[in-house]
Structure 1
């Protein structure tokens, strides 16, 4: 060592610091890689991603070779520091000072800086470092195997399996967080759609159905001219057909068939009955994702919702399902009107899920499904117009009643508490 110039020794010391920094950064970069982005790149055939995936399949071996190289470099740094200090005749005090300086250099340049950089840009550093680490793993495999065998044995003794899965699939709530935190990568309208799809499992048919008292259908007991006028002016393409009561439903009429009969001057109640589609029934507590599967499997677009006694409680269509996923298609379909004083006039028959989606108020949806039902359930009586209450942080005033139901509610803006 005495024949080696000091410049070479210092150069070697700097090189060893760089080697230590390389292994530290590679370890952080590969361990912080986004696994789902990595899988996406692997499917596209990205060479760096393929190498990284190969290393991460056995993280014990990868960590073994990284720590082997890192510790080997750090030991050589300590030895090189001792040699340089002795060449400079530093003595014992010089060795202590040199050890402190080298420890600080390792901490800054070989640990903190490279690991911080790797955490900020894991893809770039992981894919690049894998070019060196993969062949190094093959070269040092016997040593790595022995080290890993001993380490894995210790892990098994304390109840861990080092060869198991290194990460698990995302749960629904974790996936919701990923979508919600995607930021500018996913536009707001697509974020809302994706979150709505994830919510299909937690919502039921009862949450989106048209209630029984709002079902528009054809009563065969009505005169034929009334039925024709209803068909001509209907806003819907499919109408349930019944006699006196919706529970006595015959089927569903596609208005296109009725209009064809009208054009051929052969429309009658008998021809209407012959044109009916068999009614499709669903339960009110069926999850929406199951309803979507059933509609697609059975190729239907409309279903009558029944309770446990078989009585019709409402009606649900494919359009209702699509509205739950993508929101309102038209701007005036939801009766929520903002006033000049920043309050809102709300149609009390609106569904709470729909209202929350439009306003972001966060009203509870576990119990009653409409604003009218929520207020009536809270008050435990049929209120009068002018009644004001504070409910879930919102000041509400019942502005209009319709017989035994609340028709309209004014919601005042929240005022900060003094």
Structure 2
């Protein structure tokens, strides 16, 4: 090799092979680092380069096969050429060792670490242009790729991998919740809260948000007619259940806009009131909110009567109650609107025993358990495991409580405040 031209040609070819090695290395990392959901969106929008990349990623074994075939070929050829050049300068004994050392460092820096790091940070800048080369290359080398994949897939099946299709990107509900939280400024925090609330609807049932039966305002047909008419005229509710004697005997639901039809008459009868009512719509207490939301839509309803497994009325739930679980309360200050919570000057709150625990948590930002009793009275009794004879202090999670009033086997009021955890260090 006395002629300078072949040596210069070898140097040029070696440089080209190092660049090709960098191309294949960055292509592999760039393809595998792409945001699959952004890619799917662009492909569905008709973007040709995204569709091309999607086709390649649909069979990751073939994609990786063609990349590694190309990468190994150029690396081995580069090693051979580097060895020839090194032998020319350092001799037959030292040349191979020098070539191995220098080429390893060169490929590591310029063909592996640098291009792969860049591809991991900017995958779209690498993957989209690389697909222009990889797709026709896959078609050209398909017989060799098929042979290599047939052998490797057989080995994978021995290891328990039965499918190599690129379809393992389905998100669980918890993973989707994490994606929403990590969206950052791309999705406003208010919208993030709404999306997470939609995901949580499956974990909440109608008896968690219903108006309990003792708070239901309804029309008892056993009452005097004048009292019933006064109740209708002064009611703040849009819809009211009609029952006879006991709320378990619900006859129908009266929309107060229909009340004008009989209130305008000279003589009003209870039969006329019942005639304007719509048949009641009953809901099992264990129905998840996401299911009930769809049921309201199918049944063209906005309110339902919640019943237990024995058919007894537990309360009622409205469409607005479910929507509030998604978008939040329709009031600006929830605590000030909640008549069961009474803020005190010392920072504590006097809370009625019948207050709903979920309402307390939403109003005050606490984390009282909601997987058991639904009211504060029930939560305290469950914690004490007995009925208190008088004032008792207790702590449930980080909330401290003092029973203030007990009446008719019911805790009617308790003072609550969030405990401040103090950490101590030992010397």
Q: TM-score, length-normalised on structure 2?
A: 0.89
1:174 equivalent in structure 2? 175
**Offset at residue 345 of structure 1 (A):** 4.9
Quick one: distance in 2 between partners of 1:192 and 1:344?
A: 26
2:385 matched to 1:380? Answer: yes
Change (3 A) 1:185 1:254: same
Select 2:417's aligned residue among 386, 401, 411.
Answer: 411
Quick one: distance in 1 between partners of 2:37 and 2:186?
A: 15
Quick one: distance in 1 between partners of 2:365 and 2:49?
A: 43
2:156 equivalent in structure 1? 155
2:207 equivalent in structure 1? 206
**Offset at residue 272 of structure 1 (A):** 0.6
Q: After the TM superposition, which of the residue ranges 2-11 and 321-330 deviates more from structure 2?
A: 2-11
1:351 equivalent in structure 2? 356
2:403 equivalent in structure 1? 398
**Offset at residue 144 of structure 1 (A):** 1.4
Change (3 A) 1:260 1:367: same
Per-residue CA shift, 1:109-156, capped at 9, x if unaligned? 211222222222222321121111111111222221222222223333
Q: After the TM superposition, which of the residue ranges 265-274 and 234-243 deviates more from structure 2?
A: 265-274
2:235 equivalent in structure 1? 234
**Residue 88 of structure 1 aligns to a residue in which SS?**
helix
1:277 equivalent in structure 2? 278
Give the total of aligned pairs.
418
Quick one: distance in 2 between partners of 1:53 and 1:355?
A: 49
**Residue 67 of structure 2 aligns to a residue in which SS?**
helix
Quick one: distance in 2 between partners of 1:400 and 1:182?
A: 47
Structure 2 gaps, min length 5: none
Per-residue CA shift, 1:184-228, capped at 9, x if unaligned? 222222222222222222221111111111111112222233222
Change (3 A) 1:264 1:122: farther
Q: After the TM superposition, which of the residue ranges 342-351 and 298-307 deviates more from structure 2?
A: 342-351
Q: TM-score, length-normalised on structure 1?
A: 0.91
1:367 equivalent in structure 2? 372
Contact 1:258-1:267 at 8 Å conserved across structures: no
**Residue 415 of structure 2 aligns to a residue in which SS?**
strand
Quick one: distance in 2 between partners of 1:8 and 1:357?
A: 75
Quick one: distance in 2 between partners of 1:149 and 1:293?
A: 48
**Offset at residue 416 of structure 1 (A):** 2.3
2:198 equivalent in structure 1? 197
Change (3 A) 1:113 1:356: farther
1:127 equivalent in structure 2? 128
Q: After the TM superposition, which of the residue ranges 62-71 and 7-16 deviates more from structure 2?
A: 7-16
Q: After the TM superposition, which of the residue ranges 351-360 and 271-280 deviates more from structure 2?
A: 351-360
Quick one: distance in 2 between partners of 1:185 and 1:341?
A: 40
In the TM superposition, what are the counterparts of 1:266-345 in structure 2 within 5 Å?
A: 266-330=267-331, 331-332=333-334, 333-334=337-338, 342-345=347-350
Per-residue CA shift, 1:60-104, capped at 9, x if unaligned? 111111001111111122112112212323553353233222212
**Offset at residue 162 of structure 1 (A):** 4.7
The root-mean-square deviation of aligned C-alpha atoms, in Å, is 2.4
Change (3 A) 1:274 1:416: same
